[in-house]
Structure 1
Amino acid sequence: MLDSVIKVLNDVRKKTPLIHAITNNVVINDNANALLSFGASPAMVVSPDEAYDFTAISKALYINIGTINDEIRHTIINSTLSAKEHKVPVVVDPVGCAAIKSRVDFVKMLLKIGNIDIIKGNVGEIKVLLGVETKVRGVDSLDDGNDAPDVCYELANSINTTIVATGKFDYISDSRRKIIVKNGTEMFTKITGAGCTLGAIMAATRAVCDDSVLAALTALLAVNIAGELAAEESTLPGTFRTKFYDYLYILNGDLIKERAKFEEIGGKISETF
């Protein structure tokens, strides 16, 4: 299975997929630099008039609703419609939906008008999309995540979309598989936009891999292992961020094989890997 993960990583570097990232204002530069370090080609087109045509030529679309407004809402809708028409994979990051109900409604609308391949959020956001009670503080989840595997599976099964929930551990599920990833570092909580960066990287892996679960797993391992390596060299947030980009750039198959910590919950991993 790790060989498949490494192939996805190498395919991103080989193919340099163009990623249309409609991300929030706080992390535009971070997402662009992370995608470049990882081997993808980022573009942040936010004009509603340009969004449809640009999505059509992209290899994946990343939607992040962190700082959404009326203009960005129209941009996202136009891009979602274009992605469906032109068969461009879509990753949605429902930032803040656990705190603001209108964001839940917006994500559900995107699911109706488009083909969403992956929804990636923290545990609180994923629970709210399923209609389960949770605890949040603004955009941050305070949920312990003990039931996250089942929540991810239930949401994935109900909307036929791969679900990723992040927290102390990270969880992936579609209607067949439940995977836990145990890599990561607390230093991600000391910088802005770590989860948003993960979403952007996930769009890059999905751009070169038709299996959304494998794409999500590759992105989680890449980001978390790069973070671990960066944290081993610095416990200062500013230096950590820089080192994180460096390790995204130099990450390779040997490092993934050496450090990857993940397992399927409840049975043998699917042979589709």
Structure 2
Amino acid sequence: MADSVAEPSMSCSTRRPTSTRTTPELMDPLCAVRWVRTAHRAIHLQRDHLTFLDAATGDGDHGTNLARAFDLARAGLEGEDPTPRATVGSVLLATGETLRATAGGASGALQGGAWRAAGAALHDEHAVDASALADALRHGLATIQALGAAEVGDKTCVDAYAPAVEALEHAARAGANLYTATAAAAAAAAAGARSTTALKATRGRAYFHGWNGIGDQDPGAASTALIFGALHDSFAEQRPPSAGWLEPAATRSRCGRGRSS
């Protein structure tokens, strides 16, 4: 699916290191918009697979509902570049409101609540570093857990979200830039999603399948891993070869891309 939207003239905030290229240090409103756009594409390209996963233990509509919601979330951010009044928080808040209102079911409440909580935590920040982003996403995780009462090991989206936040926090404390920090978060989310295959669900609709659900990956964890993968791609210079759901090079985000000096 080609991206017909012209590239905005804004660029993500960078700081020049001692090497010959810049590295992403801050997420600005454009990067936040590009995260939503890349997540939109990731969910669409994996829509049928997410629906297949959900059919095993749920209603079989997770991929369809989430793709529709991201259609509307992306549409709400299109039409013009982020204005000087836009903030990272306002982009995440708007996305969360749309997801909560349109995704339906548990995914709408949980994903919408997480994006809204992260946006609210950032208030009116125009640019945030890895530490601030990790703190915001920690608020998102707290909202998910407050709504669903789930912990790691319950076979839910928390199994992907929690390790992703922990990895992002650890990388931020170590002084990593956003490219490196979000790579760690994406890898942790993917590993967490894979781990749900061997788990017996103790929360959500999958709970009613009991031991029969072992062997099926949780769809909410799978979509959460896609969203964290999209977050990393918002800062990536090159498409990771293992992430075939990400945008083609011709339409990829320019957030945090380096330039030769």
Q: Which TM-score tier does this pair reach, normalised by the shorter chain?
A: 0.3 to 0.5
- Comparing both chains, which one has the higher relative contact order based on Cα–Cα distances under 8 Å and sequence gaps of 6 or more? 2
Higher helix share: 2
Higher strand share: 1
